[in-house]
Structure 1
Amino acid sequence: MKKTFILFAAGALLAGAACTSSDTTTDTTTDTTTETSEAATGNDMATGNKTTTTETTGAAVTITNMDDATFISTAASSNAMELQLSNMALQKATDAKVKEFAQMIVDHHTKSSQELQAAASQVGVTVSDVIMPMHQKMIDELNNYTGSGYDEKYMDLMETAHKHDIAMYEAKSMNATNPAVKDFALKSIPTLRLHYEMATNIEDTVD
């Protein structure tokens, strides 16, 4: 599970580096784990938070310094990935709790996608329906599973995706340039935490 998240976070940073032109720093850090913070207020990060840094053409880009446009693109891709995974789970999952969770994700992330588009319009950014390679990889992984193994893998991917989302949204809730983006990030954090907690609990039951 932790190895999957490390690879996922690293992929996110590569994607952020490709999309970001203005938010860079010359320092490079090396730790690859990100812990979720205790508060959804956006006033402070939890003690001990660590962020992955990926070096690209001499500039380091971290999950904590995505510009607003990069955040929007990454959040849109993550939403699309979670919607696709969950729609697949509604068809292929065998556990009733997994199917209920998948339906909740479809409902919540459909609404989140609409709210993200509204925030993006305030920034002058068009939300793309293109799924980034790091998110497409997770979709491809789930396609390799069937039966009870499918249920467990889906919940594992949901846990990983939401852990990453929480870290990304918490950072953006504190450093967004546009107020609409900040408000969207802050508003989304409690729901993302709920999804993460539920994914963790359900995954334990289908192991």
Structure 2
Amino acid sequence: MNIGRKYRWLLYGLLPVLVTLGMAIADDSNRSLPEPDRSFIRQAAKDSLWHISLGELALKQAAGGNIRKYGEDMILGNRRIQADIQSLAKKKGVDLEIDQDPLQNQTLEHLSREPGAGFDRQYISLMIDEQEKSERLYREEADHGQDRETRGFAGGVLPWIDTQLKRARDILLGIPQPFLK
């Protein structure tokens, strides 16, 4: 009975230490996400918001129905991606404070002043560049990411990006060339 009391007091004395150690280990698991994976999550979040903004502009400005449809699909697809990124970021302890990019704001302003077919050509050309950039970003993470879950997320989005890139290229080929005088 006397031995039981000794162990009980020992246990009570060690309990705060064990709880603190457990919390430190749990907190460290979030910080252990390698910086390249953290950087990917932040950049993917920023890019998806940018693509949503461009898609919203396409819904308002596009002359061609295929451009409006592409813009709509960019909004829907990137909202799903954004939701998944936010969930992944929260789980991995990645802060997603995203600052507005001045160059992106200037691009939106420029495109919003471009009428009809001129907008269509510039928008879809920009989306080809953006999808190529996204494809490189996601491929790099899928092939070389250190965190298994982040790598899996990137690999899961790649087919959609590849499809949208091909689609944008096909749309561009269908837009009539402007006449040069």
Q: TM-score under structure 2 normalisation? A: 0.72
Identity %: 19
Asked if 1:69 is matched to 2:38, the reply is yes
The letter for the 1-side match of 2:97 is S
TM-aligned CA deviation for residue 136 of structure 1: 4.0
Kindly tell me: are residues 183 and 132 of structure 1, through their superposed partners in 2, closer, same or farther at Cα, counting changes over 3 Å?
farther
Match of 1:46 in 2: none
The letter for the 2-side match of 1:143 is S
> CA–CA distance in 2 between the matches of 1:72 and 1:155?
25
Match of 1:112 in 2: 81
Q: TM-score under structure 1 normalisation? A: 0.64
Match of 2:140 in 1: 171
> CA–CA distance in 2 between the matches of 1:96 and 1:195?
16
Instruction: Give 1 or 2: higher helix fraction.
Output: 2
Kindly tell me: are residues 178 and 138 of structure 1, through their superposed partners in 2, closer, same or farther at Cα, counting changes over 3 Å?
farther
Once the two structures are superposed, residues 143-171 of structure 1 have per-residue CA deviations (whole angstroms, 9 ceiling, x without a partner) of 34222100111101110000010011001
Kindly tell me: are residues 204 and 139 of structure 1, through their superposed partners in 2, closer, same or farther at Cα, counting changes over 3 Å?
same
How many pairs align? 143
Match of 1:128 in 2: 97
TM-aligned CA deviation for residue 138 of structure 1: 3.8
The letter for the 1-side match of 2:85 is L
Q: Structure 1: which 5+ runs fail to align?
A: 1-22, 24-65
> CA–CA distance in 2 between the matches of 1:155 and 1:164?
14
Over aligned residues, Cα RMSD in angstroms? 1.8
Asked if 1:152 is matched to 2:121, the reply is yes
Instruction: Report the structure number with the largest CA radius of gyration.
Output: 2
Kindly tell me: are residues 72 and 134 of structure 1, through their superposed partners in 2, closer, same or farther at Cα, counting changes over 3 Å?
farther
The letter for the 2-side match of 1:178 is D
Once the two structures are superposed, residues 20-75 of structure 1 have per-residue CA deviations (whole angstroms, 9 ceiling, x without a partner) of xxx8xxxxxxxxxxxxxxxxxxxxxxxxxxxxxxxxxxxxxxxxxx7111111111
Match of 1:204 among 164, 173, 177: 173
The letter for the 1-side match of 2:158 is I
> CA–CA distance in 2 between the matches of 1:108 and 1:86?
10
Asked if 1:81 is matched to 2:50, the reply is yes
